[in-house]
Amino acid sequence: MAEPLLEVKDLKVSFRTEDGLVRAVDGISFTVDEGEVVGIVGESGSGKSVTMMSVMRLITDPNVLYQGEIIYKGRNLMGLSRDAMREVRGEEIAMIFQDPMTSLNPVYNVGWQIEEQLNEHNDLTKGQARRRAIELLAQVGIPRPEQRIDDYPHQFSGGMRQRVMIALALSCNPDLLIADEPTTALDVTIQAQILELIKNLKRDFGSAVALITHDLGVVADIADRILVMYAGRIVEEGDKEQIFYDPQHPYTWGLLGSIARLDRPRTRRLTAIAGQPPSLINRPRGCSFRPRCPQAFDRCSVEDPALTSKVGDGHLDACHLSVDDKRARRDATINPELAESA
C-alpha cells in the first residue's frame, strides 16, 4: 500500500476569542491517497473548512492555536518555514474557494492572474506564460480563450468565473486540489457542470481532490471516500457505497434523509435535523451530537464515543449503538424503502 499523499494526525485548531477558546477542530485524523477524491461533508461550523485551510496554512487570524501534524509527501507542513510553505502552495497543493465573484482580484485581467501564478512557480517567458494560460482556459471549457484572456473577472458569469479559478488552481499541476464549497454559490445546473469538470480534470491532471461541502448530494457522484464532520470531529468515515448504503451514524442519517431524491417515491416531508450545532467553546459532556439525536440513550450523555471501526473494512463511526441497532433504526429514520445494506 503506497504512502498516502496527505496524512493528518490528530489535528486540533483553536481560536482565542472574546468569549473564550473556540475549538474549531478537535482532534481529527485522516488520509488522502494519490489520485483519490475525498469528500468532507458537514454543516457550517463543523470545522471542515478550517481543517483544509490549516493544511494550506492560510489562516491569518493571530489568535489561532494548532496542535497535531499534517504530513504531506512525508514532510510535516506545520514545521515548514514560511518560504518553504509558499513553495508548496499553488504548486503542490492548490485551493479553490466558494465565491468566485469575490475570490478573483477585480482590478487585474484573468490572464494576468493566471500568469502571475505560473511565473511564481516556473521560469517562463512572457509568450510561454500567455500560451499556457490560454491553454488552461480552453481546458476548463472557456470559449474563445484567446480573446477572453484579457477580460476582467466581472465580465464573466459565475460559472465561468469558477472555471477560471479552477484553471488558476491547476496551472502548476498540483498533486492535491482542495475545493472549498466550489458549487455553493452557483446555480444548480452550473453546479453539475463544475463537478463534471472537476471529475474530468482530476483524471487528466492526476491530482487528488479534497471536496468540502455541506451537501451530500454533491459528493455522491464524484467522491471515492467520504468524511462526515460534526462539531470539529469526524463522526463517520468510509467509502462511497458504505456511507450511502450502510451509514452508521445518526447524523449521517439526518443528512441523507434531508436530500430530496428523484428516484424514490416521495413518502413524506424531508427530515430535518432538529436543534442547533453545539457551542465550540463549551462542549457538552458525552457525545456532542446527543442533544439532537433521536436515538440517544443514557450512555450517550456520559461517554464521548470514539471513532472506531465497528462494521469493518475501513468504515469508521463514532456512535455507541450496536451495528444491528443502527441498521434497525436507520431505515425508519431515512426512508422506509431504503435498499438493504451490502
| Contact flag: residue 322 with another protein (CB under 8 A) | no
Of 54-62, 195-203, 263-271, 315-323, the window that binds another protein (rule: CB under 8 A) is 54-62
Minimum CB separation from another protein for residue 59, in Å?
A: 10
Residue of 5, 24, 32, 104 interacting with another protein (CB under 8 A): 104
Cell 445518526 sits on residue: 250
Task: State how far the Cα of 256 lies from the Cα of 245, in Å rounded to an integer.
Answer: 10
Residue of 6, 24, 37, 95 interacting with another protein (CB under 8 A): 95
Task: State how far the Cα of 326 lies from the Cα of 84, in Å rounded to an integer.
Answer: 47
Closer residue to another protein, CB minimum distance, 250 or 278? 278
> Strand pairing partners for 332?
none
| Contact flag: residue 154 with another protein (CB under 8 A) | yes
Residue of 46, 49, 51, 103 interacting with another protein (CB under 8 A): 103
| Contact flag: residue 165 with another protein (CB under 8 A) | yes
C-alpha torsion sign, points 236, 240, 242, 247: positive
Closer residue to another protein, CB minimum distance, 65 or 270? 65
Regarding beta strands 315-317 and 233-239, do their DSSP bridges make them parallel or antiparallel, or are they unpaired? Answer: antiparallel
| Contact flag: residue 240 with another protein (CB under 8 A) | no
Residue of 65, 270, 306, 339 interacting with another protein (CB under 8 A): 65
Task: State how far the Cα of 279 lies from the Cα of 269, in Å rounded to an integer.
Answer: 29
Residue of 87, 196, 221, 241 interacting with another protein (CB under 8 A): 87
| Contact flag: residue 122 with another protein (CB under 8 A) | no
Minimum CB separation from another protein for residue 22, in Å?
A: 11
Q: Name the strands in the sheet holding 37-41, side by side, starting at the edge strand that comes first in the sequence.
A: 93-96, 176-180, 208-213, 37-41, 225-230, 233-239, 315-317, 308-312
Minimum CB separation from another protein for residue 252, in Å?
A: 20
Residues between 279 and 298 that touch another protein (CB under 8 A): 279, 281-285, 290-291
| Contact flag: residue 120 with another protein (CB under 8 A) | yes
Closer residue to another protein, CB minimum distance, 281 or 306? 281
Task: For residue 329, give the amino acid letter.
Answer: R
Closer residue to another protein, CB minimum distance, 130 or 225? 130
| Contact flag: residue 73 with another protein (CB under 8 A) | no
Minimum CB separation from another protein for residue 289, in Å?
A: 11
CA geometry: angle at 44 spanning 47 and 199, to 5°? 80
| Contact flag: residue 88 with another protein (CB under 8 A) | yes
Minimum CB separation from another protein for residue 187, in Å?
A: 20
| Contact flag: residue 121 with another protein (CB under 8 A) | yes
- The contact set with another protein (CB under 8 A) reads 12, 14, 16-19, 21, 56, 58, 60-63, 65-67, 78, 82, 86-91, 94-95, 97, 99, 102-107, 109, 116-117, 120-121, 152, 154, 165, 168, 276-279, 281-285, 290-291, 301
